[in-house]
Amino acid sequence: MDLATTPGMAPPDGHIPQFDAPYNMLQVGTVIAFGVTYFVATVFLFLRYFQSLKLVQKVEIDLVIVSLSYGVALFYFVTLVNLMGYGWGKHLWDVSLADLMEFNKILLPNTLAYLICPSITKMGMLAVLYRINPSIIYRSIVVAIAVAIIAYTAALCSITGGPCSPLKEGTLNCLQGVALSHAVLNIASDFAVLAVPIPTIYSLKLTLKQKISLGCLLGVGSGVIICSIARLPYVVILPNEPDATYYQAILGVWSIVEVNLGVICACAMRLKPLIKTYLPQLGIFSSRSRSTNNNKNKSQHSYQLHSIQKGSAHAHPAAGSSDNHQVYRSYKIDDAEGTDNGSTDKILT
């Protein structure tokens, strides 16, 4: 049997296998989806670096982490393009057995890249969220989420690179189990990262524009969750779907959009200084209403302590004498209830 001319599965009646066919619509759509979302992610990452170098004048840890995720996302796409040459995105009857063997050999880097990339992005988001509330309980929850994400990512990567490695024979079902486990854990951690700052943000006295800006930010985060959920049905049906190379590509499209949206969201979380500096007319991050309220709770008073007259206590200095002095002390009262630690305001709103 010639592996180069034998299709991976029997073609439909009347169809002739086309092993050397050009990119189909699914493959072209994958490239377009990556190009558009990665371009937007690149713009947001550039703005973050411009802000860090020009305005903040320091590169913060979350930016470093997100940059790493940005690089892994690009590597993930490169491996996808490489897989396209061996049948990824094609119907299995248009893929030769020889190409399928090569497909399995280069599948491992692609799988590991996707397992790692969303987790890195979430680490960058959690690095920001950790700072918005000094509460020990809040920060313990953030750290617990981060540890859980690292733990399941390391476990799944170890399983994928070890007993479930696509380089070994008979590991397809194992790999599909890893994909399903990761999909469920990924959705759960997305919800956790999105939900953890909500009580803190809700407790702030924000203006309408600030609420809208945070709502948009959470909306982007919800988009990441939607992509994760949209992948889930394909992950579930994949074990029973003989046309594996085609349905894996559909999963890949959602994965591409998901990882790039994650980078966009992580960058957008920290663009407050840039917007306040170059787009102040938007008033999104204005704290005018809060400042006004604080000013109402502040008052300044002065009162006379006593008079001092030189000479004898019985002396009667002439009117207008410069020896008659009066001492005043000024004091200011700040209402503690009107104060704000400014932590969340400085970071997010």
**Sign of the alpha-carbon torsion through 86, 236, 112, 62:** positive
Q: Specify the DSSP element, H or E, that contains 20.
A: none
Q: How far apart are CA 221 and CA 223, in angstroms?
A: 5
Residues 6 or more apart in contact with residue 63 via CB below 8 angstroms: 48, 49, 52, 124, 270
Q: What is the pLDDT of residue 241?
A: 85
B/e letters for 108-138, b = 16+ CB within 10 Å, e = fewer, are bbbbbbbbbbbbbbbbbbbbbbbbbbeeeeb
pTM of the predicted model, to two decimals?
0.79
Whether the predicted pLDDT of 288 surpasses 50: no
SS (H, E, C) 257-306: HHHHHHHHHHHHCCCHHHHHHHCHHHCCCCCHHHHHHHHHCEEEEEEEEE
What DSSP character marks residue 132?
A: S
Question: Which of 38-42, 82-86, 221-225 has the weakest average pLDDT?
Answer: 221-225
Using CA atoms, how far residue 103 sits from 5, 108, 176, 341, in Å, is: 16, 9, 16, 55
Question: Which of 2-11, 144-153, 339-348 has the weakest average pLDDT?
Answer: 339-348
The domain locations on the chain are: 25-282, 290-337
What is the fold of 25-282?
Answer: Rhopdopsin 7-helix transmembrane proteins (1.20.1070)
269 token code pair: 């979380």
Using pLDDT thresholds of 50, 70 and 90, give the confidence band for residue 159: very high
Q: How far apart are CA 86 and CA 96, in angstroms?
A: 8
Question: Which of 4-8, 76-80, 213-217, 300-304 has the weakest average pLDDT?
Answer: 300-304
Whether the predicted pLDDT of 91 surpasses 50: yes
Q: What is the pLDDT of residue 295?
A: 43
Q: What is the pLDDT of residue 201?
A: 81
281 token code pair: 């007319």
Residues 6 or more apart in contact with residue 311 via CB below 8 angstroms: 317, 323
Using pLDDT thresholds of 50, 70 and 90, give the confidence band for residue 280: confident
Q: Summarize pLDDT for 32-54 with one digit per residue, the tens.
A: 999 999 999 999 999 999 999 99
Question: Which of 87-91, 203-207, 218-222, 258-262 has the weakest average pLDDT?
Answer: 218-222
Q: What is the pLDDT of residue 198?
A: 86
Question: Which of 84-88, 100-104, 343-347 has the weakest average pLDDT?
Answer: 343-347
Average pLDDT of the chain is 82
Residues 6 or more apart in contact with residue 299 via CB below 8 angstroms: 332, 333
CB atoms within 10 A of CB 342: 10
Q: What is the pLDDT of residue 321?
A: 47
Of the two residues 283 and 268, the one the predictor is more confident about is 268
127 token code pair: 């690095």
Of the two residues 74 and 169, the one the predictor is more confident about is 74
Please state whether 205 falls in left (phi above 0), alpha (psi between -120 and 50) or beta: beta
Q: Reduced to 3 states, what is the DSSP secondary structure of residue 324?
A: strand
Asked if residues 33 and 25 have their Cβ atoms less than 8 Å apart, the reply is: no
Residues 6 or more apart in contact with residue 321 via CB below 8 angstroms: none
Q: How far apart are CA 41 and CA 229, in angstroms?
A: 21
